[in-house]
A and B are shown apart, each in its own frame.
Chain A
C-alpha cells in the first residue's frame, strides 16, 4: 500500500515536468530553421514548390504553431502520439519496434558495467595503494577518458575486420530465419561489441564510486564490531561493508539510466543498431517533430520508472530509508 502511494505521488509529481518538457521541445524545434519537408527535399536532392506545398498540407505544417501544438497535446491526452513523417506510420508503432533493442542494449550494458565496476571497485579497495589498485584505477581512468565511438570503431577494426570473431554491426543476421535459441544466441553474438563499448565508460564511474565508498565504510565502527565478534574477512566485506557501500552506486545507476538512452545514439550509429537513440537523432535531422516528441515522452516515462525502481531498491538495501519516512 505504502509502495503504491509512493508510486502515485511520484507519477503526479512527474506529470507537470513531462508537459513542460514536451511543450518546451516542441517550441525549441520550431526555432530550428527548416521543417520536415525541407529535410525530405534535401534527401531527395531537389523538389519544386508545388510539391513542397502539397507535402506541408499533408504533414499538417501549414497551420500556425499554436494550432499545431494544441493539436498535438489534444492527441496526447488520448495517448495518440501522432504520425511519423519519416516512417509513414504511427509514432507509437515506430517506437515500439525500436524500444526492445534499446532496452536490451541498455539493460545489458548497465548490468555489466554495474557488476564489473562493483567487483573491480571492491578488489581495488581491498588492495588500496598496492599494484592491483593502481592497475584497476589507471584502467578505469583510461576507459573513462576515451570516447565511446572510438572504442566502438577500434572494436570493429580489431574483432570484426582483422580477427573476424564478431560481426561488424547489425542487430541480427538478416533474413536468416533463425528462431528460438539460435536467434537469441545470434543476437547475443551481435551485441557483444556494442554492449562492451557502451559499458566501458560507465564501468569506470562505478569502479571509482565503489572504491571510494568501500574505503569509507571500511573505517566505520560497525565494521570493527563485526571483526571483533570474530567474522571472517570475506563475511565482513560481503555482508556488512558491501551492502552499505552499494547505495551511491545504485543512486548513480538511476541517474545514468537516463543518460544511457541518449548516450546510445553513438553506439547505435556505429554498430547500425535500430534503437531509440538513432531514431531520435534521425528525427532531429529530418525535423520529424511527432517522432521526436514521442521518443522524449517514452524516454521520460522510462527514466521515471527506473528511478522509481531505484527508490524501491534503496528501501531494500537500507531499511532505515522507509522507516524514516
Chain B
C-alpha cells in the first residue's frame, strides 16, 4: 500500500517536474525567488559576442541571454515564438512571412522593428554567419511591408520545418541602427552586445569574466528572476570542477568538465549531471577516410576497419558509458529524422580479416598488411584516446597506424585543406536538421579548405542528388524518407564512419532552479531561471 502510494506520488510529481523542469521538492514547496547571481563556467575565451556572426555553443552560452532569436526550441522540441510571434509559408515554399513581436525595445531604448530583422538576415546571416551563409544561400530579399512584418523571399523552395529549426541557432537578431554603415567585423557591439534579451551586457574582462544584469524593460513581464549572470573563463578543466565544488560557479555546460569528474559528480547529490535540456545538440566520434589513398578507396577496406574496432569497449572503458554506438549520421536523439536503422558494422575481427584478405591486402612481412597515418582533430579529451584505441585495434588485424599529433588549428588545415592524412578522427556535431550540419560531410563539391566537410576525395551522384532533393523538399514525410535513404547509402559507402553517438553533459548545482527545461537550455535565454539561497 505504502509503496504504491509513493509510486503514485512520485510519478505525479515526475510529470509535474517534467512539465516545469523543477526538481521535486522545490516544485511542490517553493515559489520562484527573485535576485541572486548565477555564475557559469566557460572553458575558452570568445573572440566575438555576436551570435548573428558566429554560430558556436561558446558564443550562445553567453549571448543568448542578451540577444534573442526569432524562434526557439520549447519543451518537447516544439518551435516556440520569441521575437517572431507567427509565421506562414506560401504553398510554393519560396516565401516565408514572419509577424514580429510589438513593444519590444533594444537595450539602448530604440524600438525593435522589421528593419532589424531585414538587416540581420541580409547583412549578417547571409554574408557572415557560419552555417547561415549556406542556409540563406537562396535568400533573395527580406521585405518589410510594415514595422512588424518581415517577408523572406527565396529563389528556391525552403522547407518551413528546416528554416524554423535552423533559426533557433541561426536566427539571432541584432540592432540595425548599431551596425549599419560600419565595418561589421570591427563593430564594438561585437564584444559589447546590444540585444532585446532578459539580461543587459555590463562588462567583458578578457581572460576573466563577462557580466550581464537584469533588463528591467524585458518584454516578458516580471522576468527575469536573476539579478545577474556572470560567466567565468576557467581554461583548466579540473580547476573548473573545483570551482563548481566550492560553489564559486553553479553550472558547466557542454562537457566543460573532464569526463572523469562528470562521472564522479554524477554520484554527488549537490549536483545534477545530465543530458536533460541539451537534447538540441548531439555529437559523434568520427573516423574519416581519405579515399584518395589506394587501399582506402576500396569500400571493403573501410568496412573492414569498422568491423575491426570494438566501439562498445571504448564507450564503456574510456567514456564512462556516457554515450552509445551510432547508427549513422542522423542520431537517434533526432526523432524527426532518425530512420530507426540498426547499428551497422558490429565488432567482428575475423570478418574484418577476411574482408581485408578478399580486398587483396594479405598480411605481409611481420603480419602487416599496410600502414596508415591517423590525424586526431582535438575537439575533446576523448579524441587522442580514441586515436590510440583505433591504432591498437587496427594493429590486431594487420594494419599499422601512426598517430600524427597536431593541435586543432594544425589538424584542421592538415585534413581539410592539405588533404595530408589517411585517417582522421574528431567530432561531428548534429544541429537538429541534417541539412544544417550533416549533409556537408557527404555532398561533393565543397571548396577545398572548408573544415568539417567532404574533403575525403569521395563522391556519389546518388548521394548528392538525395541531399539536394531533401534540402528543397517541402513535404516533411518525403524529406524524412529521403534522409532515410541517404543514411542507407552513406552507411554502405562509409566515407566517414560515425562511431559513437553522444549527448552533451551539463553539471548544474542543485541551487539552480528551472534549469534545463527546454532542449537547448544552455543556449537559451534563462528568463525563468532562479537560484535557491546558498
Q: Hey, which chain A residues are within 8 Å of B211, CB to CB?
A: 174-175
Q: Hey, which chain A residues are within 8 Å of B134, CB to CB?
A: 48
Chain A residue, CB-CB nearest to B236: A269
Instruction: List the count of A-B residue pairs having beta carbons below 8 Å apart.
Output: 169
- Which of under 10, 10 to 19, 20 to 34, or 35 or more describes the interface residues of B? 35 or more
Q: Which of A156, A170, A175, A269 contacts B235 (CB 8 A)?
A: A269
CB pair A38 B451 closer than 8 Å: yes
Q: Hey, which chain A residues are within 8 Å of B412, CB to CB?
A: 34, 38, 41-42
- From B44-52, B97-105, B152-160, the one touching the partner chain is B44-52
- On whether A174 and B246 interact (CB within 8 A), knowing A41-B451, A285-B407, the answer reads no
CB pair A45 B57 closer than 8 Å: yes
- From A119-127, A131-139, A157-165, A234-242, the one touching the partner chain is A157-165
Task: Check if A94 is an interface residue, CB within 8 A of chain B.
Answer: yes
Chain A residue, CB-CB nearest to B211: A175
CB pair A174 B45 closer than 8 Å: no
Q: Hey, which chain A residues are within 8 Å of B228, CB to CB?
A: 175
Task: Check if B238 is an interface residue, CB within 8 A of chain A.
Answer: yes
**Among residues 142 to 176 in chain A, which have CB atoms less than 8 Å away from a CB atom of chain B?**
153, 156-157, 160-161, 164, 167-171, 174-175
7 closest A-B pairs (Cβ-Cβ)? Answer: A34-B409, A274-B207, A33-B410, A44-B56, A39-B409, A34-B413, A47-B130
Task: Check if B435 is an interface residue, CB within 8 A of chain A.
Answer: no
Task: Check if B456 is an interface residue, CB within 8 A of chain A.
Answer: no
Q: Which of A35, A40, A47 contacts B47 (CB 8 A)?
A: A40
CB pair A270 B128 closer than 8 Å: no
Q: How far is the CA of A169 from the CA of B207 in the complex (A)?
A: 13
Chain B residue, CB-CB nearest to A284: B407
- On whether A175 and B239 interact (CB within 8 A), knowing A46-B452, A50-B133, A85-B47, the answer reads no
CB pair B128 A169 closer than 8 Å: no
Question: When each residue 244-286 of chain A gets 1 if its CB lies under 8 Å from chain B and 0 otherwise, what string results?
Answer: 0000000000000000000000000111101000110010011
CB pair B236 A272 closer than 8 Å: yes
Q: Hey, which chain B residues are within 8 Å of A169, CB to CB?
A: 234, 239, 242-243, 248
29 contacts between A and B (CB under 8 A): A33-B410, A33-B411, A33-B414, A38-B451, A42-B412, A43-B44, A43-B56, A44-B55, A44-B56, A46-B437, A48-B134, A48-B447, A49-B449, A50-B133, A52-B449, A55-B185, A85-B47, A87-B45, A97-B206, A153-B242, A161-B246, A168-B248, A169-B239, A169-B243, A169-B248, A170-B232, A171-B208, A274-B205, A274-B208
Q: Hey, which chain A residues are within 8 Å of B238, CB to CB?
A: 153, 270
- Which of under 10, 10 to 19, 20 to 34, or 35 or more describes the interface residues of A? 35 or more
Task: Check if A181 is an interface residue, CB within 8 A of chain B.
Answer: no
Q: Hey, which chain A residues are within 8 Å of B208, CB to CB?
A: 170-171, 174, 272, 274
Question: When each residue 107-135 of chain A gets 1 if its CB lies under 8 Å from chain B and 0 otherwise, what string results?
Answer: 00000000000000000000000000000
Task: Check if B388 is an interface residue, CB within 8 A of chain A.
Answer: no
Task: Check if A211 is an interface residue, CB within 8 A of chain B.
Answer: no
Q: Hey, which chain A residues are within 8 Å of B55, CB to CB?
A: 44-46
Q: Hey, which chain B residues are within 8 Å of A170, CB to CB?
A: 208, 232, 248
Q: Hey, which chain B residues are within 8 Å of A38, CB to CB?
A: 408-410, 412-413, 417, 451
CB pair B206 A52 closer than 8 Å: no
